[in-house]
Structure 1
């Protein structure tokens, strides 16, 4: 576990992965964790589910299930920085979550997600999704947005 990579460096993350393999994006919030997965060629991210946060052990068990079902090779955790790039309480909470999920023994990329929730919410409003429905899907859609940014970055360095 101590050797499990946690990095914000895309090239270092890429070097820790096998060629191909599915990745999972996580949008970590205080009440939920949005999940998204991509195909093994890293071309498109798809929103998967939203986990209602309970005890960490329960959250971890669900993550393990999804990782096994989807054959995940690496994790991309959204890092909510302030607009000026500085860290916030939520940034620290996401970093702590990443440290805690090291037990999964998968490489972890911390990915700048400053605009993810706002961008997804704006897109959902543009296609007239109701407020209730937006609240149900915004976290997993934000996870897909985060993961898509990371896989686009991976494609650029391949």
Structure 2
């Protein structure tokens, strides 16, 4: 899906944290933005609302986790639902990007994923694969 020109927000969805990255369709460079730590769904969407009001994106990109063979895992449906919620709540197109190999590259020294950097990698993958 080709987006309108403008800002794009990307999300690395997790149950405890959501990594967020930003980029734009002109420069096509992703940058880590923030990590949402809100404990409730309402709190998470309040934080997302503030980001959307601030950045005025034309598109949202959501990482889609799957098993290495392409089969769904326990988070696949949750991420699809999250993308649908972004579309429904904010009337923004939401594109899913295969994130099978993105997060593992970004493990920190304790073996944890860095959520906003993972979101940036997902967004950069979207830019690199979209004409």
Give yes or no for TM over 0.5: yes
CA contact (8 A) 2:8 2:24 kept: yes
Tell me the distance in 2 between the aligned counterparts of 1:88 and 1:57. Answer: 25
| Alignment partner of 1:72 out of 57, 72, 75 | 57
Question: Which residue in 2 is equivalent to 1:152?
Answer: 128
| Alignment partner of 2:73 out of 88, 92, 98 | 88
Q: How far is the alpha carbon of 1:40 from its aligned partner?
A: 4.2
Q: How far is the alpha carbon of 1:113 from its aligned partner?
A: 0.1
Task: List 4+ stretches of structure 1 deviating above 6 A.
Answer: none
What TM-score, normalized to structure 2? 0.90
SS at the partner of 2:114? Answer: helix
Matching of residue 30 in structure 1 with residue 15 in structure 2: yes
Matching of residue 141 in structure 1 with residue 117 in structure 2: yes
Q: Which has the larger radius of gyration?
A: 1
Gaps of 5+ in 1: 1-12, 125-129
| Alignment partner of 1:120 out of 97, 106, 113 | 106
Question: Which residue in 2 is equivalent to 1:43?
Answer: 28
> For the aligned residues, what is the CA RMSD?
1.7
Q: Which has the higher helix share?
A: 1
